[in-house]
Amino acid sequence: MDLRLTNDEIAFRDEVRAFFAQALPPDIRRKCELGQRISKQEMLRWVRILHDKGWATPSWPIEWGGTGWNAVKQYIFKEELAMAPAPEPISFNMNMIGPTLIAFGSEAQKRHFLPRIARMEHWFCQGFSEPGAGSDLAALRTSAVREGEHYVVNGQKLWTSTAHHADWCFLLVRTDPAAKKQQGITYLLMEMNTPGVTIRPIVTIDGHHETNELFLDNVRIPVAHRVGEENRGWDYAKYLLGHERSGIARVGVSKFRVRRAKQLAAQVLSEGRPLIEDERFRERVAAIEVELKALEITQMRLIAEIGRRDDGKPDPKSSILKMKGSQLQQATAELLLEVAGSAAMEFDPEFVAGARGEAGETDWALTIAPNHYWARHVSIVGGSNEIQRNILAKTVLGL
**Positions marked active-site:** 244
Burial status of residue 171 (CB atoms within 10 A of its CB: 0-12, 13-18, 19 or more): buried
Could you give the angle at the alpha carbon of 44 between the alpha carbons of 213 and 12, nearest 5°? 120
Residue 144 neighbours by CB under 8 Å, 6+ apart? 151, 152, 153, 173, 174, 175, 186, 188, 221
Cα–Cα distance measured from residue 143 to residue 145, given in angstroms and rounded to the nearest whole number? 7
Cα–Cα distance measured from residue 191 to residue 189, given in angstroms and rounded to the nearest whole number? 7
Cα–Cα distance measured from residue 382 to residue 71, given in angstroms and rounded to the nearest whole number? 21
Q: Fill in the amino acid letter for 278.
A: D
DSSP state of 121: S
Strand partners, 173: 186
Cα–Cα distance measured from residue 225 to residue 188, given in angstroms and rounded to the nearest whole number? 6
HSE value, Cβ hemisphere, 13 Å, CA-based, for 284: 20
Helix intervals (H) in the chain: 7-23, 26-33, 40-53, 71-83, 91, 98-104, 107-119, 233-246, 251-265, 279-309, 318-340, 368-374, 385-391
In which element (H, E) is residue 219 found? strand 209-222
3-state secondary structure of 333: helix
Cα–Cα distance measured from residue 258 to residue 289, given in angstroms and rounded to the nearest whole number? 8
Helices 279-309, 251-265: axis angle to 10 degrees equals 160
Spatial CA neighbour of 141 closest among 172, 114, 101: 172
| Alpha carbon distances (Å) from 118 to 89, 100, 115, 195, 238 | 10, 13, 5, 26, 22
